[in-house]
């Protein structure tokens, strides 16, 4: 251990002790800064060793999403640090509390072209809530507490603390007196203005067609029970964004499922557009009203009054002028429900409309999910996952179509079920590492992860991590041999696609086996469900490489009509 005196600990030791104080029992790391990694291991903080920093950052992200606790990722200065820019940007956009502890060059070497020095402060400025360098050994606990506080108070987000290598080896002069645990999400809860809550209650009570839109902020606030109460007590219909998926039981009579950029052909919510367009009061909860969530700001009705609950007041009014309820969703909803409890009547007409939409969807999807076609249809795989899903199963998907396959075709079984997708930045390669982070946060829950072959190509190396660490996730690779979303978006926009969209064939099951994992290749529809059952029963990770249809695409509204026309024209039909 890097102690220079028996009496007082080194800065690295204080870092480890402070992490422990904040309840951190695992760090995502590759042994750098070494002094911190060693000090952590000395006091029983587990080092979960990633192969690449990109993946390490995404693991920390998945861990934070599942644990409601800030996650810690470590990295070296220079090239390693640059690889954290992408996962921290995802965490920033998706409001995830990740604390990155990054080594910096020795203080006297700053600005002398030291090995692997870079402008780290400049580099992380745009993708973090807060970035600092701790130059004073006696202030390390202050800086760490600031880092956790920044990550977890208000709107959660990523932070970076730069730790010069020489500072880490120095001895602290004074004992640390701090005792607070500052890593819980949310760290502080505050309720919106009671007068405005009354105003919101009146708007909802007077509305003819109120509608609730729940975003990812509901999960961050752990307000799923309150959103579910909007249905059960106040009889309000609830639709969610992709990030908000799982905050209500999607089989509830007033659940509209995910309604965003996914209302094309074969969408379960396709027939619910009327309910959305008819809404005269829309209650937005914990959503940044982004492009995909709102279908390019065209989905929500123009004439409606908006009420927006958000912990970040700057998100309210960004795209929809709204009655401002700045506060924690859980507390604010509890107060709103108390105002309205017993005052609203059941809405049998909306329930009927939702039931009818489900029925017509089930009729149109039936031939697809019962299809035996090879290559396989992803909708069929989702129907098989539905058969094995339990309420505690955590579903994780990579960006691209995988996100939409799980968002559209799996149904949350109770309020609070988690569907984890990289919707902050929607980058490829997040799926597997986020699944690893989620599994580490909830080891007893089965984790089912779905990724495309293009996205998975970013993180093959983490298969070795799965084997080495004995973490069990069930990974399905949708092996369609193409960058399908890219290909189809180019077809829609340009009427053709470039040569970059097609891969040579890859046997991902063999890649998994080469790393010592179970790898299964599926090319017949009947074989996926048994493989899935076997994988879930195993305490080891399994990769199921499924040969899927390169022409299949989820119900993206923007593609509706156009993509089929382009394909038909190409085939000369």
Counting residues that bind ligand TPP (by CB under 6 A) gives: 18
Confirm or reject binding of residue 483 to ligand TPP (CB under 6 A): yes
Q: Which is nearer to ligand TPP, 28 or 553 (CB)?
A: 553
Q: Which is nearer to ligand TPP, 276 or 399 (CB)?
A: 399
In 3D, which of 148, 260, 332, 160 has the Cα closest to residue 557? 260
Fill in the per-residue mask, 415 to 454: x = in contact with Mg ion (CB under 5 A), - = not in contact: -------------------------------------xxx
* DSSP assigned state of 504: -
Give the CA distances from residue 352 to residues 279, 349, 436, in Å, rounded to whole numbers and listed in that order.
16, 5, 40
Q: Which is nearer to Mg ion, 447 or 450 (CB)?
A: 450
Confirm or reject binding of residue 455 to ligand TPP (CB under 6 A): yes
Question: What is the end-to-end Cα distance of the chain in Å, rounded?
Answer: 72
- Token reading at 125: 């400025």
For strands 394-397 and 305-310, give the pairing: unpaired
Q: Which residue has the tokens 């929809």?
A: 320
Confirm or reject binding of residue 452 to ligand TPP (CB under 6 A): yes
Q: Which is nearer to Mg ion, 236 or 547 (CB)?
A: 547
By a kind-dependent CB cut-off of 5 to 8 A, residue 541 interacts, out of ligand TPP, Mg ion, none, with: none
Q: Which of 77, 231, 480, 542 binds Mg ion (CB under 5 A)?
A: 480
In 3D, which of 141, 133, 80, 142 has the Cα closest to residue 110? 133
Q: Which of 50, 485, 528, 558 binds ligand TPP (CB under 6 A)?
A: 485
| Contact by Cβ (8 Å): 21, 181 | yes
Q: Which of 247, 281, 357, 399 binds ligand TPP (CB under 6 A)?
A: 399
DSSP 511-543: HHHHTTSEEEEE-SGGGHHHHHHHHHHSSS-EE
What is the enclosing helix (H) or strand (E) of 89? helix 85-94
* C-alpha count within 13 angstroms, C-beta hemisphere, residue 345: 8
| Sole window of 131-139, 385-393, 408-416, 426-434 interacting with ligand TPP (rule: CB under 6 A) | 426-434
Report in angstroms how near the CB of residue 405 gets to Mg ion at its nearest: 12
Q: Which of 326, 340, 426, 474 binds ligand TPP (CB under 6 A)?
A: 426
Q: Which is nearer to ligand TPP, 13 or 462 (CB)?
A: 462
Q: Which of 401, 409, 528, 559 binds ligand TPP (CB under 6 A)?
A: 401
As a whole number of angstroms, the longest Cα–Cα distance in the chain is: 82
Q: Which is nearer to Mg ion, 63 or 456 (CB)?
A: 456
Q: Which residue has the tokens 């998994």?
A: 512
| Sole window of 235-243, 267-275, 322-330, 484-492 interacting with Mg ion (rule: CB under 5 A) | 484-492
- Token reading at 186: 């949310």
Residues that bind ligand TPP (CB under 6 A): 399-402, 426-428, 452-455, 478, 480, 482-486
Residues that bind Mg ion (CB under 5 A): 452-454, 480, 484
């Amino acid at each position: 251990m890097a102690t220079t005196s028996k009496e007082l600990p080194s800065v690295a030791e204080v870092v480890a002790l402070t992490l422990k104080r904040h309840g951190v029992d695992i760090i995502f790391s590759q042994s750098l800064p070494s002094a911190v990694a060693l000090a952590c291991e000395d006091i029983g903080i587990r080092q979960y060793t990633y192969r690449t920093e990109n993946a390490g950052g995404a693991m920390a992200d998945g861990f934070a999403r599942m644990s409601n606790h800030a996650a810690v990722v470590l990295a070296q200065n220079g090239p390693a640090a640059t690889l954290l820019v992408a996962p921290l940007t995802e965490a920033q956009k998706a409001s995830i509390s990740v604390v990155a502890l990054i080594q910096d060059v020795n203080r006297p070497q700053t600005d002398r072209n030291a090995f692997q020095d870079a402008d780290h402060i400049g580099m992380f400025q745009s993708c973090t809530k807060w970035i600092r360098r701790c130059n004073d050994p006696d202030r390390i606990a202050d800086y760490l507490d600031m880092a956790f506080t920044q990550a977890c108070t208000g709107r959660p987000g990523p932070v970076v603390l730069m730790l010069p290598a020489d500072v880490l080896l120095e001895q602290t002069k004074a004992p640390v007196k701090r005792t607070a645990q500052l890593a819980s999400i949310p760290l502080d809860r505050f309720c919106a203005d009671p007068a405005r809550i009354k105003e919101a209650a009146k708007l909802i009570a007077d509305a003819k067609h109120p509608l609730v839109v729940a975003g990812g902020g509901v999960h961050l606030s752990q307000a799923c029970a309150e959103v579910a109460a909007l249905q059960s007590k106040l009889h309000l219909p609830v639709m969610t964004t992709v990030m908000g998926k799982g905050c209500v039981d999607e089989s509830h009579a007033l659940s509209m499922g995910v309604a965003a950029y996914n209302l094309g052909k074969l969408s379960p919510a396709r027939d619910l557009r009327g309910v959305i367009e008819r809404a005269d009061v829309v209650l937005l909860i914990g959503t940044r009203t982004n492009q995909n969530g709102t279908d390019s700001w065209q989905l929500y009705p123009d004439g409606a009054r908006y009420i927006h609950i958000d912990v970040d007041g700057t998100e309210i009014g960004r795209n929809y002028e709204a009655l401002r309820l700045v506060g924690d969703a859980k507390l604010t909803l509890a107060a709103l429900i108390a105002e309205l409890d017993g005052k609203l009547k059941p809405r049998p007409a909306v329930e009927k409309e939702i039931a009818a939409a489900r029925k017509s969807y089930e009729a149109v999807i039936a031939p697809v999910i019962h299809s035996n076609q090879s290559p396989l249809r992803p909708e069929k795989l989702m129907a098989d996952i539905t058969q094995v899903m339990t309420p505690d199963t955590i579903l994780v998907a990579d960006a691209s179509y995988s996100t939409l396959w799980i968002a559209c075709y799996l149904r949350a079984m109770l309020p609070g079920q988690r569907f984890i997708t990289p919707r902050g930045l929607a980058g490829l390669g997040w799926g597997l590492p986020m699944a690893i982070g989620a599994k580490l946060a909830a080891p007893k829950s089965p984790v089912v992860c779905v990724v495309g072959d293009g996205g998975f190509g970013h993180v093959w190396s983490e298969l070795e991590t799965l084997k080495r660490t004995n973490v069990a996730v069930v990974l399905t690779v949708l092996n369609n041999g193409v960058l399908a979303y890219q290909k189809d978006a180019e077809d829609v926009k340009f009427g053709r696609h470039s040569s970059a969209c097609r891969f040579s064939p890859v046997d991902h099951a063999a890649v998994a086996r080469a790393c010592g994992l179970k790898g299964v290749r599926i090319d017949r529809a009947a074989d996926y469900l048994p493989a899935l059952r076997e994988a879930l029963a195993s305490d080891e990770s399994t990769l199921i490489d499924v040969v899927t249809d390169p022409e299949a695409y989820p119900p993206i509204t923007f593609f509706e009509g156009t993509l089929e026309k382009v394909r038909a024209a190409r085939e000369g039909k």
